[in-house]
Amino acid sequence: MSTSEQRPLRILAADDSAVMRSILWKLFLLQKEGRSSELPRMDLCGIARDGVECLEQVKQLCPDVLVLDLEMPKLNGLEVLDRLRLENPDLPVIMCSAYTEHGARSTLEALARGASDYVTKPAGQRDFDAAMRSLSQQLLPRIAALAKNAGREKKKADRGASSDNSQNTKFEEIRSTASSTIEVVVIGLSTGGPSALEQLLPKLPKDFPVPVLIVQHMPKLFTGALAERLDKCCALRVEQAYDNAVIRAGTVWLAPGDAHMEIAPRRAMTNEEDTGAAGRSSRVRLHQQEPLNHCRPSVDYLFFSAARMYGAGTLALVMTGMGADGLNGARAVHEGGGVVLAQDEASSAVWGMPGRVSEAGIANATLPLWGIASALKQRVSEGRPGRSEVAARGASAIAPRREMTHGLL
């Protein structure tokens, strides 16, 4: 698909609510008239009232982006999405979800099935102006970003093996230039992030030796549901973070929506909490400071705190997402001697956040999604004894005790 500057982006919407259809029609009419000049012009080429009509209009109208409701008659949003992934797999789909626990879980399922992104429906749809503002801020930038990146599908196939080889070569440079033992992994992502996490985190073993902290741009109901979903498919424990939680290896902490997450030192510690060097003296700090980079939680807050707390022992990973959140924090990690990794363009839903880091020249490596887990395991294992070495040390410690026992006998 191409979206030239000579024509507006063609948007198809599917929603069974007459109120939502009216809001969407008015939103795109104003946008097309140039009220949002920083974005490409967009044309609402069709509005479907149910899932069957949506599939028919996709074939007839050939939209650049589909805005898809979850709850519809005849075929619901998930059923439409399943059909589209077979019939039109390259079409970017933005789910339109109610801000409820059920809506959150259904949205995460849609993202796992191939939806590109989501927006939450305005809470008060009868307040027309407020609903317009909410959707304008949420929906229009996502459409622009996804349409811009839709033309990369052919590039992904074309670059294939040569890109993979170059990324592997780049990662080898990390081993020769970085000397500090990694003590924490911090990750930041946005658009396309839930699906990427579902592919990355299950590849990390239960004995992954350092804690992992993640900022994913999502509302609180959604981050809680995402943590539960990830916990079910991962060997590591995945939890939504809470204030003052002890940071230790074996647990992945996901920042709750609408709260910044930082790593802070612990004031006191019991022997039971002394779980080794990685994460031994740190805790989670949540706070409600103003949004940073228009985001709360912000990746920058997490990365800056990791750089302060762990210095060169920090590994920061920036993955798929819109905007530039995480760029300044990644720069702080880089300047402190830590390792910075970025997801590559071909495997990102939107190469905004990782693209800014890669283009700034502060990434030690820019890697495809499928190769990130191996890179993390390899880099985190450096400077740590392997399993065989640990076993040998254990055997040597036990041997003198056996000799002593024989002597007593």
Q: Which residues are catalytic?
A: 190, 217, 325
What is the CB neighbour count within 10 angstroms for residue 135? 23
Identify whether the C-beta of residue 68 lies closer than 8 Å to the C-beta of residue 48. no
Cβ–Cβ under 8 Å, residues 95 and 66: no
Q: Please spell the DSSP secondary structure of 187-253, one letter per residue.
A: EEE-TTHHHHHHHHGGGS-TT-SS-EEEEE---HHHHHHHHHHHHHH-SSEEEE--TTPBP-TTEEE
Closest alpha carbon to 381 in 237, 202, 209: 209
Q: What span, in angstroms and rounded, lies between the C-alpha atoms of 358 and 346?
A: 13
**Rg (the chain; Cα; Å):** 24
Q: Are 301 and 271 in contact (CB under 8 A)?
A: no
3-class DSSP assignment, residue 321: strand
Contact 174, 379 (CB under 8 A): yes
Q: Of 272, 247, 254, which is closest to residue 198 (Cα–Cα)?
A: 254
